[in-house]
Amino acid sequence: MAVSPLVLSSQEIRMNQLGFGVNAKKHLQVEGGNSNSFSIVDARTGKVAYEGRLGKKKYWDLSGSEIQTAEFGDLKKEGVYKVKVGNKSSHPFAIARKGVYDELNKWVLKGFYLWRASTPIEAEYATFNGISYARAMGHPDTAVYWNVPSKNGGVGNYTERKVSSPKGWYDAGDYNKYTVNAGFSCEFLGMLYEMYPDYYQHLELDIPETGNGVPDLLDELKWEMDWLLTMQDDDGGVFFKLTTKSFSRFVMPESDLNDRYMIGKSTTSALNFAAALAMAARLYAPYETQFPGFSEKALSAAKKAFAWACRNPRVPFSNPRDVTTGNYSDTSYVDEFQMAATELLITTRDAAYARYVDLDALFNTPTWPYVSTMHLLQLQLHSREMEKFVDIKKVKRRFLQLADSLCVNHAESVGRIPVMNFRWGSNCEVASDGAVAGIAYHLTGDTKYLDVAVDCFDYLLGRNVTGYCFVSGFGSVFPMHLHDRRSEADGIEGSLPGYLCGGPNAEARIDCGADNYAKFPAKSYLDAKCSFSTNEIAINWNAPMALLTGIVINETEKHK
């Protein structure tokens, strides 16, 4: 249960609010404290279970405060505990051999089910802690307008033709659907499945498709893939988004009855589509019985989209004059070509796609406009199959250079995360960095990478200077007022569970008034509906969080 901001502000002990595996490293952080020692007590009896020393105070210029850290990995006894520092006490946390993050993992993925368009959300599959988040079907999208831009740049000139484009996930806290964000998010979720197929083949998410002989993660992904296929034109081009002309009011999906439009083909939308559908072709190939012809259809669509992009290599997207929904502006196309070509190469083994691989590119944190690293990650994960087509030794070298740079940034950060700037979607960057480090551990077994991944994970779950667990519904203090239309319109106190919010952002603080935000970047977060700059949700943030969570579960529970 969330506590009030007043109680939160007096709580100086920061840590992963869910807890830790028995064999995991366990860190806590104290901000502005006056003690040099700490104790850990049984949350029920108050009996001391562990005592230790806090590290030296270090000033973090991004938080404007002095921070001490400590590690208590030697405490391996299962139980529920609290940390005590002086007269301060932490929120309770668990230590367990298995299962500490199982519900988190489930609901970070079920967040995509809750995002589904064109279907009712049923109480049987959407009840969390006794609260039902069931809702009526919104946005059937069986009759949306097909945009033909007018000469003056407006969208007044539409064909009489209406097209059907149902399914898919709402993109963020609004009700529009975007191809670029879909492709990026599907990449992360598909990568998660390919890394740990045994685990995800058996993970039940309790969604309508559970029990159909297909892993639930793939069932959820297919809801988005089915929608993506509707966004492709006959010439292979792919529309950028399906949207209303402006963002809807804060109403439930079934109450948003404004006309919806399929707008704008672009190079980036074609290539994100191609990457996602090329991956889908191999993910669903073993499930031909359940989805006859789907794998072949997905691959054909991916090839057509890539061919269109090759014929139209620099077509940008920009909103028509009378459309004000998300623009996702991106005029750099090389990285999308790399990502799409790599997925096609892995799926088809057609050497023609290998010429788009660029191992001298700039590789950094993968975010929706910067996806070069996605093709590096996939080449590394599929290195055995790819050694005939690319220099795998160089792939590994460049990948480890990236992972090592994250380790350097992590070591230099008083906050123990690789992120050096807090901007829009900083939590996505933390999750993506953690996932990259986790993949490095998965492939090398070098625990320095696992340490970075776990610290990123712990940060997102509460070991940060805001004191929040940034995933709604989890921990003791979590976002209660997400910038999300469903959460604000459903009449239920608090927000829908399982969503990673954007996080601290020092760059865009005008939405709720700059005076309402903390001065220092790492603290510049506001749990308020108005704060779309820090408290919105998005599929491209939940997908990296899902990957990082899956990595932590699968790697730390087997790590000794």
Task: Quote the CA–CA distance of 90 and 75 in Å, as a whole number.
Answer: 16
Per DSSP, helices labelled H in 312-444 are 334-348, 372-381, 383-386, 392-412, 426-444
Would you call 174 a catalytic residue per the annotation?
A: yes
Name the active-site residue from 141, 256, 527, 555: 527
Contact 271, 212 (CB under 8 A): no
Task: Quote the CA–CA distance of 543 and 432 in Å, as a whole number.
Answer: 9
Task: Quote the CA–CA distance of 58 and 64 in Å, as a whole number.
Answer: 11
**363 phi and psi angles, rounded to 5 deg:** -110, 125
- At residue 181's C-alpha, the angle toward residues 401 and 472, to 5°, is 90
Would you call 360 a catalytic residue per the annotation?
A: no
For residue 102 the two structure tokens come to: 């199982």
Dihedral sign from CA coordinates of 5, 9, 11, 17: positive
Name the active-site residue from 141, 343, 536, 555: 536
Task: Quote the CA–CA distance of 524 and 530 in Å, as a whole number.
Answer: 14
Q: Establish how many alpha carbons lie within 13 A of residue 386's alpha carbon, considering only the half-sphere containing its beta carbon.
A: 27
Three-state secondary-structure class, residue 142: coil
Residue 229: exposure state from Cβ atoms within 10 A (0-12, 13-18, ≥19): middle
Query: Largest alpha-carbon pair distance within the chain?
Result: 75
Task: Of 157, 109, 248, 158, give the one whose Cα is nearest residue 546.
Answer: 109
- At residue 401's C-alpha, the angle toward residues 108 and 71, to 5°, is 55
Would you call 536 a catalytic residue per the annotation?
A: yes
Name the active-site residue from 171, 174, 187, 343: 174
**Separation of CA 195 from chain center:** 16
Name the active-site residue from 91, 483, 484, 490: 483
51's CB contacts (< 8 A; 6+ apart) are 37, 38, 39, 40
Give catalytic residues, as residue numbers.
Answer: 174, 483, 527, 536
